[in-house]
Amino acid sequence: MRLLGVDYGTKRIGLALADTEAPVAVPLETVPAKGMEADVLAVAKIAAREGASAAVVGLPRSLTDAGAGSDWSRQVLAFAAALAERGGLKVETEDERFSSGLVESARRSAGAGAHDVDKDAAAAAVILQAWLDRRSS
């Protein structure tokens, strides 16, 4: 099964791909955010183009929210629900708490040239890989 990783943001949406047969997430692309309805349609179109039947959306959590969530996490959940309903995808969420930090750390460690990496798509790959890793253990 082909999977689409999604790092949903107010300015950009990072996307990544993986296949359950070879469970390694790779960055795909970043699309500009244009509002929830347009974002759902854009992500669903890319999922169809790539043959993905499911999506893993990064869910922002804080270390102190005790499960209550934030306004932003509720917006992301609304996006995930709309993607499932209107995009025809099976959608799950994955904690994205450290994804951006991991990408930034990797970029710093890699040195020159690493700053050309699409950080939003890379964050989507981190989110998707975490979901894949959790499923395999």
Residue 98 or residue 22, greater confidence = 22
Provide the residue range defining the domain that includes 34: 2-136
Confirm if 25 and 129 have CB atoms less than 8 A apart: yes
Q: 100-131 pLDDT, tens per residue? A: 555 555 444 444 454 556 899 999 999 999 99
Confirm if 121 and 129 have CB atoms less than 8 A apart: no
Q: Which of 60, 54, 59, 58 is nearest to 23 (CA)?
A: 54
CATH number at residue 63: 3.30.420.140
Q: 72-98 pLDDT, tens per residue? A: 899 999 999 999 999 899 999 999 875
Domain count, the chain: 1
Name every residue whose Cβ is closer than 8 Å to that of residue 27 and which is 6 or more positions away in sequence: 14, 15, 16, 117, 118, 121, 122, 124, 125
Strands (DSSP E) found in 11-133: 12-19, 22-32, 54-59, 90-95
Q: Rounded to two decimals, what is the model's pTM?
A: 0.85
